[in-house]
Amino acid sequence: LESQFLRAQRLESVGTLASGIAHDLNNILTPILTASQLLQLKYSNVDERNQQLFKTIESNAKRGAALVKQVLHFTRGVEGKRTIVQVNHLFSEIQQIVEETFPKSIELATNIKPDLWAVIGDATNLHQVIMNLVVNARDAMPNGGTLSISAENIFIDQQYARMNLDACVGPYIAITIADTGMGMPTEILDRIFEPFFTTKEIGKGTGLGLSTVRGIIKGFGGFVNVSSQVGKGTEFKVFLPAVEAAVTPLSEDLELLKGNGE
Ligand code: ADP
């Protein structure tokens, strides 16, 4: 438990540092981006090679800004809106993205229960959680395999809650994203939620995906379990506290008062 506490502290100080750097970097990138855009307007008649140079400045400033945004998102924890999210809608969107953009060598197996309970938080954030997990699953299967996405309502009982510090007794939805990819040895598994930890090539991974995932899930009041076997695959199971009662579509956009949870 003590080492868990030390780890949490270490992650927090890395977070504070990263947030400071990200904030300063943002102040540097914003004028670069604006200036490059102004220059493009002012010199819209220059030859193509020079236009390309302006574009390079602009697109890289944009990439930097996107990275900064991701860091701030992670370190500030999850702000986002707090609305009632109908999770079933989200999955049809994700399924479509996967079907249209993932390599054909990856087979998609879904088992989304039709009447999932609603959860409370920011739908865009939850979308990002699932996309991050799904993209990691894709990257773990360069030679193809099966991506399974499933979701169900579960009720966490006292026995389970006693064994898992993050769990409370009550209704949850459980979202499982599993792949039949390369899997991870424990040395890697132990570090995957650390900000900037990545085994991917430079330019392919930022190492911020899973730390963001964890931050968002925390914001929902939930938790995530991972199991992995080298050469066999990996399974992420996300648990989010649910609103058990049936929710009418009209209340979908209902803004809840902030301040619940935490
Ligand atoms: P990134 O994807 O940018 O590397 P993440 O935080 O999303 O950052 O993931 C960190 C690391 O965790 C990855 O580089 C990879 O080594 C490992 N990882 C994450 N998901 C999986 C998976 N489904 N299978 C195998 N390894 C994974």
Bridge partners (DSSP) of residue 242 are 119
pLDDT band at 260 (very low <50, low <70, confident <90, very high): very low
Average pLDDT over residues 56-66: 91
* Residue nearest to ligand 1 atom 23, measured at CA: 137
Q: Which residues contact 23 (CB under 8 A, 6 or more apart)?
A: 72
List the single range of 69-73, 181-185, 191-195 with lowest mean pLDDT: 69-73
Q: What is the pLDDT of residue 262?
A: 35
pLDDT higher for 14 or 250? 14
Pocket test of ligand 1: the residue of 131, 136, 229 to mutate, having most ligand atoms within 8 Å of its CB, is 136
pLDDT of residue 8: 64
**Cα(51)–Cα(45) distance, integer angstroms:** 9
Position 256 pLDDT exceeds 50 = no
| pLDDT at site 201 | 86
Point out the ligand 1 atom lying closest to the alpha carbon of residue 181.
24
Ligand 1 centroid–CA 217 distance in Å is: 17
Q: 124-155, pLDDT tens digit by residue?
A: 889 999 999 999 999 999 999 999 999 999 99
Q: What is the CA(14)–ligand 1 centre distance, in A?
A: 19
Instruction: Please identify which residue in the block is written with the tokens 């209704």.
Output: 171
SS (H, E, C) 44-60: CCCCHHHHHHHHHHHHH
Determine the distance separating the centroid of ligand 1 and the alpha carbon of 4, expressed in angstroms: 21
Residue-by-residue DSSP string for 51-85: HHHHHHHHHHHHHHHHHHHHHHHHHT------EEE
How many helices (DSSP H) and strands (DSSP E) are in the chain?
A: 7, 7
Model's pTM, two decimal places?
A: 0.73
Check pocket membership of 137 for ligand 1, CB cut-off 6 A.
Answer: yes
Give CA–CA dist 56/178, Å, rounded: 38
Distance CA 216, CA 227 (A): 20
Best residue among 131, 188, 192, 236 to mutate for probing ligand 1, ranked by most atoms within 8 Å of CB: 192
Which helix (DSSP H) or strand (DSSP E) does residue 107 occupy?
strand 106-112
Q: Is the pLDDT of residue 259 over 70?
A: no
Distance of alpha carbon 196 from alpha carbon 188, whole angstroms: 13
Instruction: Say if the ipTM goes beyond 0.95.
Output: yes
Answer for the pair 138, 175: CB distance below 8 angstroms, yes or no: no
Pocket lining: 160 vs ligand 1, CB cutoff 6 Å: no
pLDDT of residue 210: 93
Name 235's bridge partners.
Answer: 178, 227
